[in-house]
Structure 1
Amino acid sequence: MNWTILLLFAVALLLVVVLRRAGLISARDAREHLRKGALVIDVRTPGEYAAGHLPKAIHLPLDQIETTLPKHVPDKNTVLLLHCQSGMRSGLAKRKLRAKGYTHAFNLGSLGRAGRIVGGK
């Protein structure tokens, strides 16, 4: 009985990790977009951003991104690389922006992963 519960927990955990990773842009593709001028967007709260952020990252909090992004980035063909603390909010931001016509919005994931890809963290 205990093995069954442990096995179910392990499968559930693996499923969460796989599904979370499925929405991320690959490091290789992200670096290629960066070389071509992609923008890095930090969707964390103002407090999180103030505590530390990537150089050149544009701060547009998730709860404001749908209204503020068009003012900063009117061209919906611009490549946007979104990140947050864990990758969850940036995934949500990606879905919101794609629904608004920003078809080149990608989830970089967590601040740590974004820092390894972009550099500076």
Structure 2
Amino acid sequence: MRQILLFAALAAVLALLLVSCGGTKDKPVPTEEDAPGKAAYHKISAEEAYEMMISQEIVVVDVRTREEYDGGHIENAVLVPNESIGSEMPETLPDKEATLLIYCRSGRRSKDAAQKLLALGYQSVYDFGGVIDWPYELVKEG
């Protein structure tokens, strides 16, 4: 009898914990960034970026320096150095509705640039990190 009472008490405590913690099947509470029509920062893998490049109309944006770009970049990438992104829309990115795939050398500048572009009103911005993690071909200038 004592074991049954102990088991019932443990089951009640477990049930209470699951209810109070929301369980594991509850959906996350939507935030302001999840609201429809509001642009949000998206971090994706190099593989996901590559799939988007071959299956959709996108703009690949290299936010490194000219020298780094000339040393090897993703084919058809537009050079928009992170340091050049300020309070004005970059001339080389005229469409704020275009899907932008952002990369740099290691991932730090791409995150910074993606957030600055979102602040300028771009709606579909994906950061896929650094070219050092890019397993596909690069093109070199010259």
Contact 1:43–1:65 under 8 Å retained in 2: no
Shift in Å, 1:31: 3.8
Q: Specify which of 51, 68, 71 is matched with residue 51 of structure 1.
A: 71
In structure 1, the residue matched to 2:115 is 95
Which amino acid letter does the alignment assign opposite residue 65 of structure 1?
I
> Residue by residue, what CA displacement relative to the aligned partner does 1:2-30 show, whole Å, maximum 9, x if unpaired?
xxxxxxxxxxxxxxxxxxxxx62145643
What secondary structure, in the 3-state scheme, does the structure 2 residue paired with 1:37 have?
Answer: coil
> Residue by residue, what CA displacement relative to the aligned partner does 1:78-101 show, whole Å, maximum 9, x if unpaired?
000000000100000000000111
Shift in Å, 1:51: 1.6
Q: Specify which of 99, 112, 118 is matched with residue 132 of structure 2.
A: 112
Contact 1:46–1:61 under 8 Å retained in 2: yes
Q: Specify which of 49, 57, 69 is matched with residue 30 of structure 1.
A: 49
TM-score by length of 2: 0.59
- Give the gaps of 5 or more residues in structure 1: 1-22
- In 2, distance between residues paired with 1:77 and 1:32? 20
Based on CA coordinates, which of the two structures has the bigger radius of gyration? 2
TM-score by length of 1: 0.68
Contact 2:78–2:92 under 8 Å retained in 1: no
RMSD of aligned alpha carbons: 2.2
Aligned length: 96
**Structure with greater helix percent:** 1
- In 2, distance between residues paired with 1:68 and 1:85? 23
Instruction: Say yes or no: does 1:61 pair with 2:78.
Output: no
Which amino acid letter does the alignment assign opposite residue 112 of structure 2?
L
- In 1, distance between residues paired with 2:105 and 2:48? 21
- Give the gaps of 5 or more residues in structure 2: 1-41
